[in-house]
Structure 1
């Protein structure tokens, strides 16, 4: 596939369709959210050109994620939402609806592209994006500032849904590949793991960690020190321990958004 990196160094969604391309937190108050993640993860921030209520988080000068200010009129949960690159947001939104899932917001037009927010059939929220990305995606993935895990009722069923919607394993040049490893589904592109899909979520569970969700993992050099910083700045630790992918702790920020800090990448 022809490379579609622009003169600004940013990548087009057409080049990496189906791949996770960005992650955004919609917080109730932008400045306290920036203060928390700056203190805990060492991020700095700059305006993103999407309005006064949105900023780009930077680590060592490279874009990591977006943080926006949630409209107070919306009684939506504060959460980290991953976005997947698509060639056509309209066609993808149609495929989502055709498969009994929900397009909750959009498609909406922005200065650099069009996006929408959806929920899969089990209620896990995700976004889709068509257009110019916030950075060169290849650099973003190489730096691996975040990786994703879908906690879902049935990973194999979810892989079929997302495969049909996002054209995973479609045979088209540049599409993402899917592998089955024991009880998990692994999403890859060019051999690099982009996300993992795990079974066992329960939509009626009172524990949010067991409910279906796309979950953000942020690799850090020192998990213990990061957790201590989160606790000092109003965060809450929800779970800690060694895993097959390294030591990790799941945290809740002061606004309620859940994320995990980990010592390793997705594998």
Structure 2
């Protein structure tokens, strides 16, 4: 069981729910060490103080704020623990919103909320009320030395919390939009929607895998065993100017064939079983 990273309480109105917070995700990337390419030796970094020149153990490294005028303020761990901030140990729901009203661009990290002791009954109450109303709670909470906006929602038997970026942390992406004079004609849009319909289905994350990580694992395994490297697939071809309607029509037909073949395969598997 993972360790909780935060303890506090969720409150809505006069109802308080003691909770623990757990990380809901973990990264599965392959980790590498920095090495010297000539002999494979590991690269090490030393934490050296620029004043005394001594190497500093990690436990003696504090956080310093540079005031910009030559002054440096050193903050201890206790300074962060004793912040005069209401959200430091409490998650107060300040607004309820429809889930569809929140742009996914704001979401940062996901967490599980676990009720503690007498918090189980009000936890279930909040979970059921959110699920039946189709809404989520907007909160502010202090995590990892910063206050963040967050959203609390019901998912199955759980309450989950998703930290969110502040509005000024989202960049303006208008520079990436195509020129306004470029338009798609009705026939192209209709054909594109037909292709979308052919690939439409219920989202099942279990159907997808990290192909990049799998390919990287093959390369690492080949190097460890001293065998030839796996063959590489051909890269993408240069884009060509084509008839969009014709290309989409061909795509729709190909998607139909794939679905028919998949349905036949499932039928054979069902008969065999």
Larger Rg: 2
TM-score by length of 1: 0.20
Task: Report the structure, 1 or 2, having the larger helix content.
Answer: 2
Q: TM-score, normalised by structure 2?
A: 0.20
